[in-house]
C-alpha cells in the first residue's frame, strides 16, 4: 500500500493506492455521511457499503448533468444533510465528478472523499480536484476546483471492470506515460500480457506512478493556469470525438493523442522514431477507435473548448517521449490539420 499526498498550499488530499476499499470506514466521521454511487457499483459492492444513506444514479456520461445534480441535492435535503455532512463517492469517473461537484456547491461546500472503482477514475477523474458536469455536447464546462480529503484506489476492484472500461482507463494511463514518464512507457511496452490480465501488483505500481506524476503537476498548478495544461494531451481533439461518437472517455483521448502525435511530428518537434514508438504503443493496446466527425463539427466544438483563448487553443504536443510542450495554436490550423489528416487516412 502506498499513500500519495497532493499539497496545493490551500489543501491536502491523500491518495491511497493498494489498500482494500472497505478500510474507508476508518476515514469517515461517525455520522452525517451520505454515499453517492451508481446502480452498477451498488449491485457489485453495495453489500459492503458502510451503513449510511445511499443516493444512486444511472451509470454513464449521460448522468453528468445539472438535472442529476439537482436530483442529488433534493435527496440530500430530504435526508437532512447539513453543513457537517460528509459526501462519499463510490464509483468511477462520473460518480466522482458528480459527488465532488455536489460537495463543492451544497450549502456552499461540504467535506468529501472517494472510493475510486475504475481505472479511469483511479488514474484521472478522482485525482486532482476537478469536479464538473457537461452541458449538451460540451464536456465539463460547469465545474469547480476542490480537492477530496482522500481517494482510495483499490486495484483489486479493477478485476470486475468490463473490458472496454478497463481499456478506457489504460488509455489515460498511457497518456501520462507519453507526457511525463518514459519509464512507464517501457513498462507498458514490456508487460502487455500482465497489464491486460490486470495483475494486481503490477497495476498497483503503474497506478501509483501515474498518480505521482499527476500529483506533482496539480501541486504546482491546481487551477490549470500553466503547467497543469499538459494533462490535456489528446483532449482538444478527443473531447469533440467523444461527444459526437458517444465513446468512453479514454478511447476518445487516445484518438486525440494519435492526432497530437502526428501534429507534433509535422511541426518538427518529434522525430520519426519516437513518433512511431508512441503510435505503436497506442496500437499495441488497441485503444484508438474508428470515429466519424466532420471538420465543421470539429471546428464548432473546439471553439467551445475550455482551453480556448480568443481564436487559439493551448494545445499539448510532445517533443520526445515524456517531454510535453504547450503551444497556442489557432483553431483554423487545428481544424485544417485535422481535415487533411482525415483525408489522407481515407486515401
3-state secondary structure of 35: strand
Query: In the numeric block, which cell numbers belong to residue 240?
Result: 469533440
SS (H, E, C) 257-320: HHHHHHHHHHCCCCCHHHHHHHHHHHHHHCCCCCCCCCHHHHHHHHCCCCCEECCEEEEEEEEE
Q: Residue 347: what pLDDT? A: 64
- In the structure grid, which three cell numbers stand for residue 136, read together? 449538451
| pLDDT tens track for 242-251 | 999 999 999 9
Percent of the chain having pLDDT more than 90?
Answer: 85
pLDDT at 25: 96
- pLDDT reported for residue 308: 82
Give the residue ranges of DSSP H helices in the chain: 39-45, 66-79, 93-105, 119-120, 163-180, 182-190, 192-196, 200-220, 235-245, 249-266, 272-285, 295-302, 331-346
Contact 315, 281 (CB under 8 A): no
Q: State whether the Cα torsion 312-135-117-237 is positive or negative.
A: negative
The structural domains of the chain, with segments of one domain joined by +, span 2-160, 163-346
Give domain 2-160's CATH number out of 3.30.420.250, 3.40.50.1970, 3.30.160.340, 3.40.50.620. 3.40.50.1970
Residues of the chain with pLDDT under 50: none
> 163-346: CATH homologous superfamily?
Dehydroquinate synthase-like - alpha domain (1.20.1090.10)
Q: What pTM was computed for the model?
A: 0.92
Amino acid at each position: 500500500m502506498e499513500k500519495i499526498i497532493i499539497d496545493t498550499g490551500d489543501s491536502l488530499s491523500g491518495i491511497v493506492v493498494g489498500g482494500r476499499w472497505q478500510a474507508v470506514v476508518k476515514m469517515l466521521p461517525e455520522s452525517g455521511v451520505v454515499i453517492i454511487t451508481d446502480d452498477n457499483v451498488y449491485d457489485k459492492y453495495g453489500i459492503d457499503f458502510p451503513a449510511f444513506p445511499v443516493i444512486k444514479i444511472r451509470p454513464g456520461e449521460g448522468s453528468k448533468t445539472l438535472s442529476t445534480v439537482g436530483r442529488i441535492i433534493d435527496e440530500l435535503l430530504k435526508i437532512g444533510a447539513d453543513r457537517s455532512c460528509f459526501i462519499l463517492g463510490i464509483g468511477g469517473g462520473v460518480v466522482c465528478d458528480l459527488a465532488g461537484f455536489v460537495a463543492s456547491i451544497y450549502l456552499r461546500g461540504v467535506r468529501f472523499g472517494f472510493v475510486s472503482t475504475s481505472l479511469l477514475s483511479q488514474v484521472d477523474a478522482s485525482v486532482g480536484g476537478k469536479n464538473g458536469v457537461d452541458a449538451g455536447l460540451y464536456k465539463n464546462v460547469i465545474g469547480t476546483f476542490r480537492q477530496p480529503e482522500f481517494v482510495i484506489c483499490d486495484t483489486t476492484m479493477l478485476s470486475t471492470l468490463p473490458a472496454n472500461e478497463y481499456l478506457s482507463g489504460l488509455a489515460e494511463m498511457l497518456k501520462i506515460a507519453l507526457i511525463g514518464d518514459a519509464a512507464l512507457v517501457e513498462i507498458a511496452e514490456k508487460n502487455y500480457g500482465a497489464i491486460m490480465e490486470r495483475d494486481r501488483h503490477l497495476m498497483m505500481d503503474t497506478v501509483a506512478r501515474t498518480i505521482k506524476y499527476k500529483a506533482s503537476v496539480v501541486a504546482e498548478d491546481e487551477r490549470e493556469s500553466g503547467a497543469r495544461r499538459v494533462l490535456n494531451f489528446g483532449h482538444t481533439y478527443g473531447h469533440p470525438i467523444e461527444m459526437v461518437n458517444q465513446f468512453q472517455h479514454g478511447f476518445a483521448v487516445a484518438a486525440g493523442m494519435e492526432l497530437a502525435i502526428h501534429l507534433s511530428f509535422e511541426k518538427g518537434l518529434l522525430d520519426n522514431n519516437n513518433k512511431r514508438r508512441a503510435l505503436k504503443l497506442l496500437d499495441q493496446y488497441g485503444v484508438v477507435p474508428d470515429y466519424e466527425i466532420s471538420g465543421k463539427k470539429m471546428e464548432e466544438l473546439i471553439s467551445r473548448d475550455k482551453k480556448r483563448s480568443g481564436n487559439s487553443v493551448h494545445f499539448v504536443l510532445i517533443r520526445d517521449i515524456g517531454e510535453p510542450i504547450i503551444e497556442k495554436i489557432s483553431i483554423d490550423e487545428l481544424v485544417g490539420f485535422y481535415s487533411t489528416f482525415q483525408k489522407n487516412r481515407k486515401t
